[in-house]
Every structure is written in C-alpha cells, then in structure tokens.
Amino acid sequence: MARLHVSNHPLAIHKLTQMRSVQTDHRSFRALERELALLMSYEVTRDLNLTANQVETPLGIAEGGSCRETIGLVPVLRAGLGLVDGVMELLPSVQVWHIGLYRDEETLRPVEYYNKLPTEPTVNVCIVLDPMLATGGSAVATIDILKRWGVRRIKYMGLIAAPEGVERLRTAHPEVPIHVAAVDRELNEMGYIMPGLGDAGDRQFGT
Ligand code: PRP
Ligand code: URA
C-alpha cells in the first residue's frame, strides 16, 4: 500500500493554519494556497526518475541529473485550480489537464461535468490536485478516469484530508501515494471536514 504523507514542515503548518482562519480573506487565501502548493510539490516530486548526465562548469565536468518525466497536473475543478500555480513555479513545463467534478449536495457523490482528455495519454506521471479529501468520492472518481486514460503513475496532492477520505482512497487505489498537509478529525453530517477550512472553492473564489 502506498504511503500517506502528512507534511510536518513548519512553513506548511504555518500557512495552513492561516488558511483555515475564518479571518483570512479570499485574496490572502489564494496567496497562501499557492505558497503551500509550492512547498508541497517539493515533497510530492521527491521520487521522480532522474537520467544521469554531465555538465561543464567553468572549472570542469560535474556529474548531474536531468528529470525527463512527462508530468501532468490534474486539478479537480473548481477548488483544485488554486494549487496549480504553486506547483508550476517548480515544474514550469508540466501539462495541465482539468477534470470537472462537483459533489451532489444530497448524495455527496461526485458528478462529472468536464473532461477533455485526449484518447491517448500524453504524460507518464499525473499529480491530482484537490485541496479537500472529504468522503474521497471525488479523488477516487478522478483517479478512475486517469487509469482509464492509461496513466501508469498517479499521485494525489491535497491540503486537508478526513480519515474517511484517506481510507476510501487507499482502498480503491492502494498504490497511489497521498500527500496532504493535515489529516483532520472527522466529517460532519454534511460531509464537511472538521475542523477543516470550510468550502475551499467558495473561499478561493468568493462565492
Ligand atoms: C470539493 C473539493 C473536492 C470535493 C471533496 O469540491 O474541492 O473536489 O469537494 O469532497 P469528497 O472527497 O467528498 O468528494 P466541490 O464539490 O465542493 O466543488 P467545487 O470545487 O466546485 O466547489
Ligand atoms: N469540500 C470542501 O470544500 N470542504 C470540505 O470540508 C469538504 C468538501
């Protein structure tokens, strides 16, 4: 089973704490999310493959490495959009493939409304971006789509998970590593993560 990685980096904890605060406005929320995504992408990409190479310095030849993986970011609309820019600061040449899902308020099941993936996969690693792993339904559905597309390596990057969501994602896709900044206490009766940060899409976009 792939690992659950919970960041214990002090800056990640600091920024997530600020994001959670009810006092944080939309603009600051987006800025913090971008910074947190950059910090977390350093951890998420830790095991990417390197091709050994050499480089000429002013004084000689240095052994080095070059990352030639083709990486796709898969933000889950809407809230996943807020994680894209931070990851792209570190990985400017990634492809970005959007998947649109919303949770039906009654059933809490994900409903797909946007998917323009081409027939054949164009990347060999996908990083699913969605700040909230609540029941896990949206993450499982997104990874189902990516597996049907034919992607072999998939990673999940979020900010806050509920234990229920972690369990569901690990059961459905045990080989997918899960990277989050925190695992919170539980889901409430409406399917929100407690204490969480509220509705991530609404907090980003002021809706
Ligand atoms: C939120 C969040 C996830 C989903 C998580 O999206 O961004 O996609 O809920 O819940 P789950 O783990 O129970 O599936 P939401 O449906 O609110 O849509 P939005 O991003 O457009 O606001
Ligand atoms: N989606 C959110 O935006 N927040 C939650 O707590 C759960 C699902």
Mutation test of ligand 2: which of 33, 109, 129, 197 has the most ligand atoms closer than 8 Å to its C-beta? 197
Spatial separation of the C-alpha atoms in residues 201 and 21, rounded to whole Å: 15
> Position 40: which residue type?
M
Show which residues are catalytic.
103, 107, 199, 202
Q: Which 3 state secondary structure label does DSSP give 179? A: strand
> What domains can you pick out in the chain, each with its CATH number?
4-205 (3.40.50.2020)
CA 67, distance to chain mean position in Å, is 20
Q: Are strands 193-194 and 60-66 parallel, antiparallel or unpaired?
A: unpaired
- Whether 164 contacts 185, CB under 8 Å: no
Q: What is the pLDDT of residues 120-164, one digit of tens each?
A: 999 999 999 999 999 999 999 999 999 999 999 999 999 999 999
Ligand 1 nearest atom to the CA of residue 201, by list position: 22
Other beta carbons within 10 Å of 168: 18
Ligand 2 nearest atom to the CA of residue 192, by list position: 6
Which pLDDT does position 68 carry in this prediction?
Answer: 87
Give residue for tokens 């040449």.
93
Confidence of residue 8 (pLDDT cuts 50, 70, 90): confident
Ligand 1 centroid – CA 72 distance (Å): 20
Ligand that comes closest to the CA of residue 198: 2
> What are the tokens at 196?
């969480």
pLDDT of residue 1 exceeding 80: no
Which pTM value belongs to this model? 0.96
